[in-house]
Amino acid sequence: MAKKIDRGLENREIVLDVLLEVLEKGNFVHLVLNQALKKYQYLEKADRAFITRVTEGTLDALNQMDDVINRYSKMSTQKMKPVIRNLLRLSVYQILYMDRVPDSAVCNEAVKLAAKRHFAGLKGFVNGVLRTIARNKETIVFQDPWVELCLPEWLYKMWFFEYGGERTAAMARSFLKEGATTVRVKPEKIEEAMESLKKQGVTVKEEPLFPGILYLKNYDYLESLDAFQNGWLQVQDLSSALVGKLAPPQKGSLVLDVCAAPGGKSLHMAELMMGSGQVEAQDVSDRKTALIEENARRGGFENVVCRTWDARVLDESMVEKADLVLADLPCSGLGILGKKPDIKWRMSPEQMKELEALQREILSVVWRYVKPGGRLVYSTCTVNPGENQKNAKWFEESFPFEPVDLSGRLGPDFGEESLKNGWIQLLPGIHPGDGFFISVFRKKEQ
């Protein structure tokens, strides 16, 4: 007789393993979670949705989880065994934020999982802490604003100083909302794609500010959608797609994207040139360039070539060849915490300083690829002025470039105050789309 599978226990064990990989071993949640969901593709859609929700939710509110556990446990989370620490975290998230899961079930499954992972001696501890939290959950209040907003203290204070309390709260809360997958659709395929998606039961919302940007919900796997398989869709956020609005390439141009993976902007540029010209998409590893090649092949883009290249190293063969250089550079990622919540717990002010220096190192090389009169776009997916406005100002002062007046290229929803100076800082929760910085420069003729 086949042994009956405890699906609730299995789901929670998958979450536990993902959290251990991310929080204890330093791996990236989007990679680990995607690998787990592919490995357990046989699970029902509802099970995989549960795994995703608990994983991402626990990471979103990690400091809240630790704050609550530390109130009702005699041992702090930092002194606990990693398995117990993360088992309590994922269980407390369910107790506080998932009303459909009975607290008794959460406690029982946690106890069983502790035993299964060879911590039977701590079953009473796990049970006692969780049941005490469940009894007191209605009275739990977070005193510190950064804990309430699920931000590290240093990041809350940095944003409060830079943007004020109201904007900081709006940004932080935007990361905690349930997100949708944002895709850009080939212009000639919008109606076909919409019809196909709806036929497959996908909830589709159009972005009114940018025709061709869609928000998708309630689908199983992106790869299972006919519109994706047919190459009509490319995953790309609205903010990233705005690069094409602010710096559209002319037909027949040579566009060089120096840190291109996964290729959203490269393919958008190829699309805007309607098959003419050439986009060279570069990145530092074969794994990354293979991902771009896969997306280009699926989309049928014949004017895209991929090459593995370290952007810090000058390619003499490309000097003054490019009409447009895209430099969307490695950054702290503070504008996309809703998609990658682990970033806020692994990032630090010291790392941000290192990234600012890396960006300058790359910019010091790639400006040489731009033809006289050509353009360079410097962009990031962060909201840190040191990586954005300050580095853009440094670039203008250091090399023979001038900012491009971008006035009138975006609507009032994005504000116009900085566009005349050649840049825009998009703030999550304030502007549509992810937190993103875009600056556009023209190389002087001499």
Answer for the pair 132, 96: CB distance below 8 angstroms, yes or no. Answer: no
Q: 257 among the known binding-site residues?
A: no
Answer for the pair 289, 307: CB distance below 8 angstroms, yes or no. Answer: yes
Cα–Cα distances in angstroms (integers) from residue 235 to residues 180, 215, 228, 421, in the given order: 11, 10, 9, 29
How many CB atoms lie under 10 A from the CB of residue 235?
A: 16
Q: 283 among the known binding-site residues?
A: yes
Q: 66 among the known binding-site residues?
A: no
Q: 26 among the known binding-site residues?
A: no
Q: 342 among the known binding-site residues?
A: no
Both tokens of 16, joined, read 């536990």
**Range list of β-strands (E), 176-220:** 181-185, 203-206, 213-217
Q: 47 among the known binding-site residues?
A: no
Q: 331 among the known binding-site residues?
A: no
Answer for the pair 321, 254: CB distance below 8 angstroms, yes or no. Answer: yes
Q: 38 among the known binding-site residues?
A: no
Q: 263 among the known binding-site residues?
A: yes
Q: 265 among the known binding-site residues?
A: yes
Please confirm, yes or no, whether 381 is among the known catalytic residues: yes
Stretch (H or E) spanning 326: strand 322-328
Beta-bridge partners for 440: 377
Answer for the pair 360, 388: CB distance below 8 angstroms, yes or no. Answer: no
Q: DSSP characters for 260-293?
A: -TT-HHHHHHHHHTTT-SEEEEEESSHHHHHHHH
d(CA 19, CA 16): 5
Which are the catalytic amino acids?
381
Binding site for S-adenosyl-L-methionine: which residues? 259-265, 283, 310, 328
Binding site: which residues? 259-265, 283, 310, 328
